[in-house]
Homo-oligomer: A and B are copies of this chain.
Amino acid sequence: MLESLFRPKKVAVIGASSKELSIGNRVIKNLIDFGFKGDIYPINPKADEIRGIKAFKSITDCPNNIDVVHMVIPAKFVPEAVEDCGRKGVKNIIINSGGFSETGPEGEAIEKDFLARAAKYSIRILGPNCQGIINSDPRIRAYCNFTFTKPEPGFISIVALSGGVAEVIHQGFAAMGVGTRIYASNGNACDVTIPEIIRYLGQDDGTRVIVTYVEGLRDPANFMQTVREVAARKPILAMKAGRTAEGAKAAASHTGGLAKEDLATDLIFKKAGVVTFTDEGELIQAAAAFATQPIPRGNRVGIITNTGGPAVIATDVFVGAGCQLPPLSEKTVEKLKTTLYPEASVRNPIDVLATGTAAHYRACMDAMLADDAFDCIFVNFVTPFFVDNESIAREIVAVSQLQRKPLVCNLMTDRQQWSEVVTILRDGGVPCFSLPGEAARSMAALVRYNTIRTREPGELKTFSDTDRQKGLSILSEAKQAGRRNLSAEEVYEILAAYGIPTAAWRVTANANEAVAAAESIGFPVVVKADSAAVVHKSDMGAVAVNLADADEVRAAIDQMQTTLAADDLRFLVQKFMPGGLEVILGAKAEEDLGHLIMFGLGGIHVEVLKDVVFNLTPLSTTEAKEMLAAIKGAPLLKGVRSRKGVNRGRLEELILRLSQLVKDLPAIKEMDLNPVMAFEDGAVVVDARISI
């Protein structure tokens, strides 16, 4: 557990310095200025005191039971210093210095060295090349960090490898006047990891919401597992950067190759129940709402304003984010009409007018609290000089503190002129924003978390009519033969072993065999050339469709024998199945994580419109259903005007069987079922390939 790291009582600084502008001095200054509740031991062989605190010659001379040692010394001295700390019984070391794995092989060797020594003494290392931690708990007040943003106590904890972005986020909260709880930036993360910190924050009662930023995941399976457990109890808000190829390159340059492809991280976030953001501002603003507001039960928002336009902007944002703005009930309208000014607009949004009073605002908020049609309350509040704005602010606070339905406030004011209003709302824990769009998005994030939290998990089906042994033996045979692509026969046998229906097929060596096969399958047929050299069949003239009789089969095979002329050339004869809807399924191995599963419509939908969706194995029944619903062409699956729909249950089953197949057979690197022809009464694979 990281208790002693995040709640230290004794902190030593190896490399403590009298020089004002050094990190070894700043860390001590920060601890003092922030009011650290424990003891500080500057360590410096020459100084008697640093910043008025008694200094020690070495760690050995310090009192025992040191929780955290900062190391602010050149990399090459670190292993020996870690050894000293070990002998002293130090529990945790924050290595602020750089010069380790981020710089190349030499630094990497030093990192390995000190890590081995730390392990020997069960010391936990934060960093190296990191900022450190902050805990604003009034009983702790540990500022073990050399940065400069001093937080007020709060309920939001921040964790990120990237010190720069952790700092940006931290500054964002400070600028909003929103307090934070724990801050941790672990740089190279050679020992204490992000998932481990997230797990700790999940158990820290003072943390109500966890905010994290990633550029890539080092140990995605562990990340997913941990985050999934924590996110079920406590909201985790996350942003992933390096989303574009260029961004990933930029990320790689400063974190030493951490950034992986974007897709898998997004899917991990989704599967783990993380509330994701692509904009750091939205992340910050959302966290401010999570810090003090309850999670809504649904997506229905009531808006109260004293000026029109900003409510229009908020409405656009809410609707764009999938929220609803239900009308007021007749009863509520009648009641408010007697309370508000006659010119007030008594609908949703309610406009109490600029002259609206505290009593008016309160009546509207009470009405929305009482009305089951509303899950959330959005208040837009401009501070005209001619009303008692402080009273309005106090009513907003009172309703927020009931904690019955979440409330956010867009406060339109001059924060200097109306500082008392600002203070009332801030001290009252009302999430306050300066733009209606920001306020609305923060509330929409609360709704999003509720949707995630209450989503139907579905079932992780395991089909028992499958034959894993068969699959394994085919793969091992291909592997032994050094083949990367399976033959058509092998592919179809694996599909059969997993109950994935394929159009009737037979592999043949020549025209005579092919004709015989076609006659037994029944015309019309398709003939496909099968050879290790032929991967994209239709581009290579290796497919002939809709062959109606023996002559056509012979002609097609003649042609292929001439153009392809491969030694291992054989011919797959298959039932021709026109008239269905072409769909495509695929799987791709993701290192340390399982497989990506792809689903989409075939033909131009995949080629031109890229209308495909992905998810990660293992897939639940709910996830399979979601994949079908998530493509843009989803209405085609249900049927459109004169076109009939297809059997979606069968497609869902195919997705689940594919998920089980690649989970059982992890050697499969890539796999395409393309196309699968879907009909009203089922779905049949007509072409497929597997590479290992």
- From residue A174, how far is it (CB to closest CB) to chain B in Å? 7
Do A414 and B171 contact each other (CB < 8 Å), given the known contacts A308-B164, A437-B281?
yes
Residues B174 and A414 in contact, CB atoms below 8 Å apart:
yes
Chain A contact residue count (CB 8 A cutoff): 92
Residues A316 and B435 in contact, CB atoms below 8 Å apart:
no
- Distance A384 CA – B21 CA, assembled complex (angstroms): 10
The residue in chain B whose Cβ has the minimal distance to the Cβ of A278 is: B316
Of B98, B166, B539, the residue contacting A641 (CB under 8 A) is B539
- From residue A327, how far is it (CB to closest CB) to chain B in Å? 10
The residue in chain B whose Cβ has the minimal distance to the Cβ of A609 is: B632
The residue in chain B whose Cβ has the minimal distance to the Cβ of A438 is: B281
A349, CB-defined interface residue at 8 Å: yes
Residues B253 and A385 in contact, CB atoms below 8 Å apart:
no
- Distance A310 CA – B343 CA, assembled complex (angstroms): 48
Residues A345 and B636 in contact, CB atoms below 8 Å apart:
no
Residues B609 and A312 in contact, CB atoms below 8 Å apart:
no
Residues A309 and B215 in contact, CB atoms below 8 Å apart:
yes
- The A72-121 residues at the B interface (CB cut-off 8 A) are 98, 103
When each residue 623-665 of chain A gets 1 if its CB lies under 8 Å from chain B and 0 otherwise, what string results? 0000000001101100011110000000000000000000000
Residues A164 and B26 in contact, CB atoms below 8 Å apart:
no
A149, CB-defined interface residue at 8 Å: yes
Do A148 and B417 contact each other (CB < 8 Å), given the known contacts A162-B308, A309-B162, A436-B280?
yes
Neighbouring B residues of A162 by C-beta, 8 Å: 308-309, 312
Residues B172 and A281 in contact, CB atoms below 8 Å apart:
no
Residues A247 and B316 in contact, CB atoms below 8 Å apart:
yes
Do A386 and B22 contact each other (CB < 8 Å), given the known contacts A168-B310, A609-B632?
yes
Neighbouring B residues of A385 by C-beta, 8 Å: 21, 26, 146, 148
Neighbouring B residues of A253 by C-beta, 8 Å: 308, 345, 347, 349, 351
Neighbouring B residues of A550 by C-beta, 8 Å: none
Of B168, B241, B244, B309, the residue contacting A168 (CB under 8 A) is B309
A243, CB-defined interface residue at 8 Å: yes
A382, CB-defined interface residue at 8 Å: yes
- Distance A250 CA – B308 CA, assembled complex (angstroms): 8
The residue in chain B whose Cβ has the minimal distance to the Cβ of A175 is: B434
Of B250, B316, B343, B607, the residue contacting A242 (CB under 8 A) is B316
The residue in chain B whose Cβ has the minimal distance to the Cβ of A214 is: B309
A163, CB-defined interface residue at 8 Å: yes
- The A413-436 residues at the B interface (CB cut-off 8 A) are 413-415, 417, 434-436
- From residue A535, how far is it (CB to closest CB) to chain B in Å? 15
A553, CB-defined interface residue at 8 Å: no
The residue in chain B whose Cβ has the minimal distance to the Cβ of A387 is: B21
- Distance A303 CA – B254 CA, assembled complex (angstroms): 14
Of B309, B347, B435, the residue contacting A163 (CB under 8 A) is B309
The residue in chain B whose Cβ has the minimal distance to the Cβ of A22 is: B386
A251, CB-defined interface residue at 8 Å: yes
- From residue A256, how far is it (CB to closest CB) to chain B in Å? 10
A65, CB-defined interface residue at 8 Å: no
The residue in chain B whose Cβ has the minimal distance to the Cβ of A21 is: B386
A555, CB-defined interface residue at 8 Å: no
Residues B345 and A254 in contact, CB atoms below 8 Å apart:
yes
A604, CB-defined interface residue at 8 Å: yes
Neighbouring B residues of A241 by C-beta, 8 Å: 309, 312-313, 316
- From residue A198, how far is it (CB to closest CB) to chain B in Å? 18
The residue in chain B whose Cβ has the minimal distance to the Cβ of A320 is: B244
Residues B319 and A247 in contact, CB atoms below 8 Å apart:
yes
Residues B310 and A245 in contact, CB atoms below 8 Å apart:
no
Do A640 and B607 contact each other (CB < 8 Å), given the known contacts A351-B253, A413-B171?
yes
Most buried by B among A253, A349, A539, A611: A253
Neighbouring B residues of A246 by C-beta, 8 Å: 315-316, 318-319, 325
- Distance A636 CA – B608 CA, assembled complex (angstroms): 7
- The A285-314 residues at the B interface (CB cut-off 8 A) are 303, 305, 307-313
- The A14-42 residues at the B interface (CB cut-off 8 A) are 21-23, 26
- The A228-287 residues at the B interface (CB cut-off 8 A) are 241-247, 249-251, 253-255, 278-281, 284
- Distance A383 CA – B164 CA, assembled complex (angstroms): 11
- From residue A154, how far is it (CB to closest CB) to chain B in Å? 16
A4, CB-defined interface residue at 8 Å: no
A496, CB-defined interface residue at 8 Å: no
A538, CB-defined interface residue at 8 Å: yes
- The A315-365 residues at the B interface (CB cut-off 8 A) are 315-316, 318-320, 325, 343, 345, 347, 349, 351
The residue in chain B whose Cβ has the minimal distance to the Cβ of A163 is: B307
Residues on A facing B (Cβ under 8 Å): 21-23, 26, 98, 103, 146, 148-150, 160, 162-168, 171-172, 174-175, 213, 215, 241-247, 249-251, 253-255, 278-281, 284, 303, 305, 307-313, 315-316, 318-320, 325, 343, 345, 347, 349, 351, 382-386, 412-415, 417, 434-438, 538-539, 604, 607-609, 611, 632-633, 635-636, 640-643
28 residue pairs of the A-B complex, CB under 8 angstroms, read A22-B386, A23-B386, A26-B385, A148-B417, A160-B309, A162-B308, A162-B312, A164-B310, A164-B382, A165-B312, A241-B309, A247-B315, A247-B316, A249-B315, A251-B308, A251-B309, A253-B308, A253-B345, A253-B351, A254-B351, A280-B313, A280-B436, A281-B437, A539-B641, A604-B633, A604-B636, A608-B633, A609-B609
Q: Which 3 A-B pairs have the closest CB atoms?
A: A254-B308, A164-B307, A162-B309
Given A165-B310, A608-B633: 10 more A-B contacts, CB < 8 Å: A148-B413, A171-B412, A171-B413, A241-B312, A243-B316, A250-B308, A254-B308, A254-B309, A254-B351, A609-B611
